[in-house]
């Protein structure tokens, strides 16, 4: 393997280049990479702010920073406006470009601050008695809407603070749940909700209270803190937001609506748009304030559907659909700064594209064609976005006018200089119903044409998800490639990015149609790529992918030397009653009125057939697929006589997030794969 070279200064003199031996990409490399998000470009297109998450390895956590790049200067030397933050700063420029607004905990609690572009002036704008979760700034420069967790029956933030303080003094630890879902993802639910408060920045000082806009509105607004669900009018007098109806069960079939509420608190929220059986979201207000665009998905909640792009004339009250002829899967919507077009992201055949839509004709044009766009922002004539791929972690790009895109960041450059990433290739084949199905193959580290390599066959979760041309900070194919394994991934029926019928084909068919795609995809990969060693392969999956591993253990285990099930659904019946999203199994498998339908594709019903070695991994705080599902799978394997091991991470949820836990996860998985494929020694060359 040819060496890389590093130039060093020794005693003030330029030393000769010394070779740097290339090495495999590792799990610690993955956990150590900086992560880029939340791009915000100033109105004049000169500055780009973004959030940067780095890893505190000894602290076993991520820490956040806020950087600003002057596009007229050296992009490699951004201004570090904030560092060492616990939460994301969520940067946003004022309409005049004079101030950058952000969330910071420098005062001891998370509050809204602002700074001028060079950071020489910084001002705290709120002094709430509770933490600020997020915010939205109106174009009028003085109306600020703040998101904070409160009790719906509290009229003030001080009331919430007092109640929290009183609860902290109580000796009892019981959480009283009187209605609705008991828990969500990794936390038990009390009656606290995210709510909205408006602040007039024209008033002096940093206020400790705001005007409550959602009194007695018992719903999280915005859900999960996503401020893309909020939009303010140009004059700051009206706020439009997406929410499920107040009082709805968070885990049930509740379709979201779009509401409007005045920011002076003079009236309660009113329903602006609703439609039975349709989820409405991503409201986007045109810069002139005359038109509200939004997405409407007519499908059962927790299933994918075609995202109709709707346009409402706010003055006339008329609504029409744009791009009506396409089966689009848009998931984020925003207006361009000049109001001449709409911008949207959406999955597209194993990638996530950025689109431009003409609001007059509805014509859709693709802006990006390679990789996956995770976030974007636009200014007059400029577009900033975060792109990632199988061969690159998240990086920030800017496109100004007709010039080609320019990469602004080199996140992970020091690590990636030492660890050449493996190449990938997309392939296709005829899957279930003779429909085209796509997948990816990633070559192992140190690949040569004259060898066969053991294989890691990865199965994605969701089930409406994708393992495509994107970078993952959890399940990353490059880590398995660094272990010496070739990687095969298949976007089976149920995956997103291939049209609504393709994604919905998995409903009531968790165990047959996707399995047929996986079988045919494995056969197609083996026939096409001679370096894949089909006799030394293990299959791995998480969430729905873990379910599929548990299902394959009885239905299709012959090709595999071993299996790895992470956070997998083992018993559909128990999952239906204990998961946080109560109606998920009803939608995916069939109604609780006829639960015999659940048994058709229930891994637990066939666990006595298990024979292949299976490693089971689960988080102890997982309420999406509760921990007992993993323990049950482990016990089932033991009773069936299949070799098995169980790994529990007591401090993790559905995902393994802490850096050192992630490295341990990969270490255990690698040892398991090496043990059963006997590829450890052969794959270790160059490690």
d(CA 344, CA 293): 11
pLDDT of residue 247: 83
Do residues 350 and 440 lie in contact, with contact meaning Cβ atoms separated by under 8 Å? yes
Do residues 48 and 68 lie in contact, with contact meaning Cβ atoms separated by under 8 Å? yes
pLDDT of residue 12: 37
Is the confidence at residue 679, as pLDDT, over 60? no
Is the confidence at residue 10, as pLDDT, over 50? no
pLDDT of residue 167: 92
- Residue 17 pLDDT class (50, 70, 90 cuts): very low
10 Å Cβ neighbour count for 670? 21
Is the confidence at residue 2, as pLDDT, over 60? no
pLDDT of residue 595: 75
**Between residues 638 and 331, the one the model is more confident about:** 638
What integer is the mean pLDDT of 600-614? 97
Please provide the DSSP assignment of 387-453 as one string. Answer: EEETTEEEEEEEEETTSPPEE---TTHHHHHHSPPPPEEEEEEE-GGG-EEEEEEEPPTT--TT--E
* Strand blocks (E) in 138-224: 143-150, 183-184, 187-188, 193-200, 211-212
pLDDT of residue 8: 34
Whole-angstrom CA distances from 389 to 269, 422, 490, 572, 644 are: 41, 12, 16, 34, 34
- Residue 456 pLDDT class (50, 70, 90 cuts): very high
What's the burial of 131, exposed, middle or buried (CB within 10 Å: 0-12/13-18/19+)? middle
User: Which residue segments constitute the domains of the chain, with CATH numbers given?
Assistant: 420-683 (3.40.50.1820)
pLDDT of residue 20: 55
Helices vs strands, H then E, count in the chain: 12, 42
What integer is the mean pLDDT of 565-585? 92
* Strand blocks (E) in 275-391: 279-285, 291-297, 307-313, 319-322, 332-335, 342-348, 351-357, 364-366, 372-379, 382-389
Give residue-wise pLDDT tens across range 116-137: 999 999 999 999 999 999 999 9
Is the confidence at residue 5, as pLDDT, over 50? no
Give residue-wise pLDDT tens across range 463-520: 999 999 999 999 999 999 999 999 999 999 999 999 999 999 999 999 999 999 999 9
What integer is the mean pLDDT of 195-213? 94
d(CA 438, CA 490): 6
Share of the chain above pLDDT 90, in %: 81
What integer is the mean pLDDT of 390-406? 95
Is the confidence at residue 593, as pLDDT, over 70? no
Do residues 622 and 184 lie in contact, with contact meaning Cβ atoms separated by under 8 Å? no
d(CA 450, CA 607): 40
d(CA 395, CA 75): 13
pTM for this prediction: 0.94
Mean pLDDT of the chain: 92
pLDDT of residue 19: 47
Q: Cα-flanking dihedrals φ and ψ of residue 562, to 5°?
A: -160, 170
Share of the chain above pLDDT 70, in %: 95
What integer is the mean pLDDT of 446-455? 96
pLDDT of residue 592: 63
Is the confidence at residue 403, as pLDDT, over 50? yes
Is the confidence at residue 264, as pLDDT, over 70? yes
What integer is the mean pLDDT of 588-599? 75
- Residue 682 pLDDT class (50, 70, 90 cuts): very low
- Residue 16 pLDDT class (50, 70, 90 cuts): very low
Quick one: tokens of 174? Answer: 């019981």
**Between residues 24 and 323, the one the model is more confident about:** 24
Residue 563's nearest CA partner among 678, 458, 683 is: 458
pLDDT of residue 21: 66
Is the confidence at residue 642, as pLDDT, over 80? yes
pLDDT of residue 670: 98
Give residue-wise pLDDT tens across range 276-288: 778 899 999 999 9
d(CA 561, CA 113): 55
Give residue-wise pLDDT tens across range 34-61: 999 999 999 999 999 999 999 999 999 9
> What 3-state DSSP class applies to 295?
strand
């Amino acid at each position: 393997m040819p060496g890389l070279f590093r130039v060093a200064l020794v005693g003030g003199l330029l030393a000769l280049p010394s070779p740097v031996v290339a090495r495999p990409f590792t799990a610690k490399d993955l956990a150590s990479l900086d992560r880029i998000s939340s791009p915000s470009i100033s109105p004049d297109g000169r500055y780009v702010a973004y959030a940067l998450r780095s890893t505190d390895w000894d602290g076993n956590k991520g820490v956040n920073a806020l950087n600003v790049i002057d596009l007229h200067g050296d992009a490699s030397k951004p201004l570090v406006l904030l560092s060492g933050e616990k939460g994301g700063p969520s940067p946003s420029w004022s309409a005049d470009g004079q101030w950058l607004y952000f969330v910071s905990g420098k005062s001891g609690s998370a509050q809204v601050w602002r700074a001028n572009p060079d950071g020489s002036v910084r001002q705290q704008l709120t002094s709430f008695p509770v933490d600020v979760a997020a915010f939205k700034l109106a174009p009028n420069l003085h109306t600020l809407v703040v998101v904070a967790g409160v009790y719906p029956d509290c009229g003030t933030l001080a009331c919430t603070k007092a109640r929290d303080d009183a609860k902290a003094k109580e000796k009892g630890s019981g959480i009283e749940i009187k209605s609705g879902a008991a828990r969500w993802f990794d936390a038990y639910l009390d009656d606290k909700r995210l709510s909205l408060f408006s602040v007039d920045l024209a008033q002096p000082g940093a206020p400790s209270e705001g005007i409550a806009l959602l009194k007695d509105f018992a719903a999280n607004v915005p859900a999960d803190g996503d401020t893309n669900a909020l939009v303010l009018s140009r004059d700051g007098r009206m706020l439009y937001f997406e929410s499920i109806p107040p009082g709805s069960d968070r885990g049930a079939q509740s379709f979201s609506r779009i509401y409007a509420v005045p920011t002076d608190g003079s009236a309660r929220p009113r329903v602006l748009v609703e439609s039975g059986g349709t989820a409405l979201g991503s409201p986007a207000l045109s810069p002139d304030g005359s038109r509200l665009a939004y997405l409407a998905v007519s499908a059962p909640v927790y299933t994918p559907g075609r995202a109709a792009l709707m346009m409402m004339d706010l003055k006339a009250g008329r609504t029409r659909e744009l791009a009506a002829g396409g089966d689009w899967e848009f998931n984020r919507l925003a207006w361009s700064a000049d109001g001449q077009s709409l911008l949207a992201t959406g999955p597209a055949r194993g990638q996530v594209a950025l689109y431009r839509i003409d609001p007059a004709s509805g014509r859709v044009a693709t802006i990006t064609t390679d990789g996956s766009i995770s976030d974007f922002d636009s200014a007059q004539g400029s577009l900033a976005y975060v792109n990632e791929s199988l061969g690159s972690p998240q990086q920030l790009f800017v496109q100004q006018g007709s010039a080609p895109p320019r990469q602004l960041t080199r996140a992970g450059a020091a690590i990636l200089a030492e660890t050449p990433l493996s190449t990938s290739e997309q392939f296709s084949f005829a899957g279930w119903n003779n429909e085209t199905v796509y997948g990816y193959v990633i070559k192992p580290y140190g690949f040569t044409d004259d060898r066969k390599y053991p294989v890691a066959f990865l199965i994605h979760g969701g089930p409406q998800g994708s393992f495509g041309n994107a970078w993952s900070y959890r399940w990353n194919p490059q880590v398995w490639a660094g272990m010496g394994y070739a990687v095969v991934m298949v976007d089976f029926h149920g995956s997103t990015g291939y049209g609504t019928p393709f994604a919905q084909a998995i409903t009531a068919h968790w165990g047959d149609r996707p399995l047929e795609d996986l079988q045919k995809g494995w056969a197609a990969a083996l026939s096409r790529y001679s370096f894949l060693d089909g006799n030394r392969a293990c299959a791995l999956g998480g969430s729905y992918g873990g379910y599929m591993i548990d299902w394959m253990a009885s239905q299709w285990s012959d090709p595999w030397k071993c299996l790895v099930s992470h956070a997998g659904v083992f018993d559909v019946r128990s999952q239906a009653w204990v998961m946080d999203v109560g109606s998920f199994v009803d939608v995916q498998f069939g109604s609780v009125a006829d639960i015999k339908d659940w048994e058709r594709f229930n891994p637990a019903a066939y666990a006595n057939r298990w024979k292949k070695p299976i490693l089971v991994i689960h988080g102890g705080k997982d309420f999406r697929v509760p921990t007992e599902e993993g323990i049950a799978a482990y016990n089932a394997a033991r009773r069936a006589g299949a070799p098995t091991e169980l790994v529990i991470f007591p401090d993790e949820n559905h995902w393994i997030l802490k850096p050192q836990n992630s490295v341990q996860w990969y270490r255990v998985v690698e040892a398991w794969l090496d043990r059963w494929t006997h590829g450890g020694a052969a794959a270790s060359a160059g490690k």
